[in-house]
Amino acid sequence: MDATGSHHSNRQYYDAFSETYEAERGKNSVKGYHDMLDELESEFVRRYGASKDVLEVGCGTGLVLERIARFAGSARGIDLSPGMLARARERGLDVSEASATELPFADHSFDVCCSFKVLAHIPAISVALSEMARVTRPGGMVIAEFYNPHSIRGLIKRYGPAGRIAKHAKESDVFTRFDSPETVAHMAPPGTRFVDSRGVRIVTPSAGVMRFGPLGRLLRQAEGLLADSRLKRFGGFYIAAFRKD
């Protein structure tokens, strides 16, 4: 599929997803699964982006970007889906419609450029990573999240039935790739080098178990403790940090 076709397909998929995206997220969840993911992702950005200029590529409805905005000097976001962006704007966030493979910003515009749950759905991932590096200032960070095949989530997503994300759309309707931590370490965009990582959803078997009070709280605590441990390489979501030289 060419870039134009991929953009159109992804836009349709996420516009459909935007209708139900927050059903189990944000203010509608009680310290649940998605809230845990958002916290672990945004806190990793805080490590490098506190009081800095941060761009989130593929910001969706703004749940992670809203958290980033609390500690960043400035926080901006882009997304391909008008449906997702409409909800981000309702949060008062600074967002615009654009593609990850063609960012509408000048070189060296941000201290940190991050992306979560997006790059895995972009066939031209190297182009997207290069664009993220281009708009990042020297000494800044490119923070990119990948889907890890060597994880509980990876096994379920690759070999289990496709989940439904809207009335007429399911997960298999969008391109999805999986990249192991070993591969990711060598995917640094030009002019950057791999320096840090975090694993998210290491021991949680499914989103549903987070609804069971004591078990959910135990898993949430365990995920926080293990995110930066040696077991991070088994996270369903593997976050890599590349420093721009």
CATH number for the region 3-244 comes to 3.40.50.150
| Reported confidence tier of residue 25, pLDDT bands at 50, 70, 90 | low
Domain boundaries, the chain: 3-244
pTM: 0.88
| Reported confidence tier of residue 13, pLDDT bands at 50, 70, 90 | low
DSSP track, the chain: --HHHHHHHHHHHHHHHHTTTTTTSGGGSSS-HHHHHHHHHHHHHHHHHTTSEEEEES-TTSHHHHHHHTTSSEEEEEES-HHHHHHHHHTT-EEEE-BTTB-SS-TT-EEEEEESS-GGG-TTHHHHHHHHHHTEEEEEEEEEEEE-SSSHHHHHHHHSPPPEEETTEEGGGS------HHHHTT-PPTTEEEEEEEEESSS---GGGGGSHHHHHHHHHHHHHHTTSGGGGG-SEEEEEEEE-
Q: What is the pLDDT of residues 171-223, one digit of tens each?
A: 667 889 999 999 999 999 999 999 999 999 999 998 888 888 899 999 999 99
